[in-house]
A and B are shown apart, each in its own frame.
Chain A
């Protein structure tokens, strides 16, 4: 029973990291209707910025995270302006390829700037010299990083939902997502709205990067790519474009991955995860919480 709980906790903590990355993916997809494959690499940049602020300049972790968010937001805006905006009228496949190119560009730039040697990300979330709470004489452990990640996920989900539902800018975003042409006719500046979406998505990426590396501390230029792909899977699983769906998809994906490893086989866990994804999409093509949008003729 305890073993089961331990696996469940590991699953939730891995899932919460996927979820926080998936929130960024789903946010950008939901509004700009494009898959930003460079998202995972913006995460990596955020983690590096925070790492250097904290270990080289000795700043407080909170300041490190805030600076990482600032840098990533700027980076997100620059990427959007240079690589995606000129392709706004191009077919979506062109933008997708550009995003993949941007992903490789960021990885290789990071390798030149910071070399490919591993860096160990410092442990931020320790309280009273402990890195977690344990129950039953240490047989059940819950780390602070997991708790912080889940809380951050919930807070971000609530804030994003409120933002898109209540604020004027949020409403403009939803309008763009439904129909760009009609939104423009209504006097909404579509280009600015999409740029703002990228800025928000990139700021979220910085937070995700710090939390990802706090949980799994090897930092290298390819750190973001695999979690990025898994988080993309989680976003599709939960229904891409849906903010609560990203959270649900992320957590479920983490739990399935850990249970597959623990109870079936460590050798085929990834195969099982993706098999589950295929089955879900066959039964419910829009994902768990995705909405079916009917087009009226």
Chain B
């Protein structure tokens, strides 16, 4: 009996190991045939997918991965919904048609690569990348090797684009992947812009920063914020960190900020940790100004969260759901009708992604029978061309250059009466 059980366990362990390995060949082969100029021909399903889209020859297949389940599901679903609305609007116009496919990556790099391979098998021609940064770093490397045009709505890490020097060491760790572009602010730009905004509006003189030092997004923002704050002469009086494992008790970090007399606390992190910090600061009666980043978006929709705790929290985000701009109003209305929610900036960013691709395809005169590598070259040409500017929900006259990041200006928002209100 014991022996039989031990054998069973051994077999189970072996199977687990094999299951773990199974994804490796799939992820490794494209990387080894690293010839960016030729399309990957090994995959028989790799031909354009016009065959399975009711015979029309002007349907482009666009794919994307995002966390549709798991802790970051709020971002993935918002992004997918934003893209769905844009695709529906464009298809209603006639002319170029889009078919949208989304695969779940659960905010996990390995699952994202599997999701990407599924999209490839299903005939994807243009890739919206991943919604969050860690999967984005993995899928961008794959899409670079396979020559799929990649425009991510919100994977903001510099490692997604590559070619950006690490601010601490000054070296470029990942070479630039020329077909990868971002619709959101790159992390350093957001950190810079936050410091600039605080300085310009005299929001605080003594600043505390709490960041998550095992997270690429949070540390990236912190490094650039600190560089810029030093350059601007803002005084950072307290810098403390936490990790995924110690993400329960923030009393030390909050007390440190309080004891050093900080009047503004900068929180470059996602809203899960931020909501705990706001709760615990309130419990000890500490009420500085809190300044967040785009990861703070979503805090108001947490079930059971006392929104009065977030009253007065400021954040920089490119999209304002209360905007009077007619395009934004129409988008918010459609989104609310379909999904019963107010769209956040992830939805708006992805809506813009679809429209930017649409404009670039139209300008380039692309047709749906082109394969993904041809489309990739055409789109890169458009996005890096000096006459290509795009105006959408998240900014006017956005431009891209060969570095891949977007130039647009962020909007300051403040939470009032449980809703986001523009500060300007």
Contacts and interface: CB of A to CB of B under 8 A. Distances in A.
Interface residues of A, number: 43
A14 B248 contact: yes
A134 interface: yes
B5 interface: yes
Interface stretch (B65-73, B223-231, B380-388): B65-73
Contacts of B276: 216-218
A132 B70 CA distance: 34
A51 B304 contact: yes
B251 A226 contact: no
B252 A258 contact: yes
A262 interface: yes
A265 to B, nearest CB: 8
B242 A131 contact: no
A118 B275 contact: yes
B298 to A, nearest CB: 9
Contacts of A279: none
A6 B251 contact: yes
Interface stretch (B146-154, B194-202, B277-285, B400-408): B277-285
Given A89-B1, A134-B285, A217-B279, A270 B246 contact: yes
B296 to A, nearest CB: 13
Contacts of B213: 267
Interface stretch (A65-73, A109-117, A154-162): A109-117
B272 A262 contact: no
A63 interface: no
B275 A266 contact: no
Given A89-B1, A119-B304, A216 B248 contact: yes
A269 interface: yes
Interface stretch (B46-54, B156-164, B253-261): B253-261
B34 to A, nearest CB: 36
Contact of B306 (A6, A7, A117, A120): A120
A97 B16 CA distance: 13
A129 interface: no
Interface in A138-163: 138, 141, 143
A26 to B, nearest CB: 21
A120 B246 contact: no
Contact of B303 (A97, A118, A216): A118
A131 B252 CA distance: 19
Contacts of A269: 246
Nearest to B249: A14
B240 interface: yes
Contacts of B71: 116, 118, 220, 222
Interface in B57-106: 69-71, 73-74
Residue from the set B1, B242, B243, B283 with the largest chain A CB neighbour count within 10 Å:
B283
B19 interface: no
B252 A261 contact: yes
A3 interface: yes
B242 A266 contact: yes
Shortest Cβ-Cβ A-B pairs, 7 listed:
A120-B304, A10-B251, A216-B248, A261-B252, A120-B305, A266-B241, A266-B240
10 contacts: A14-B251, A51-B304, A94-B9, A116-B71, A122-B304, A138-B284, A226-B248, A227-B248, A266-B252, A269-B246
Given A10-B255, A91-B6, A115-B73, 15 more contacts: A7-B251, A10-B251, A10-B252, A91-B2, A116-B70, A116-B71, A120-B279, A216-B248, A216-B249, A216-B276, A227-B248, A261-B246, A262-B252, A266-B241, A270-B246
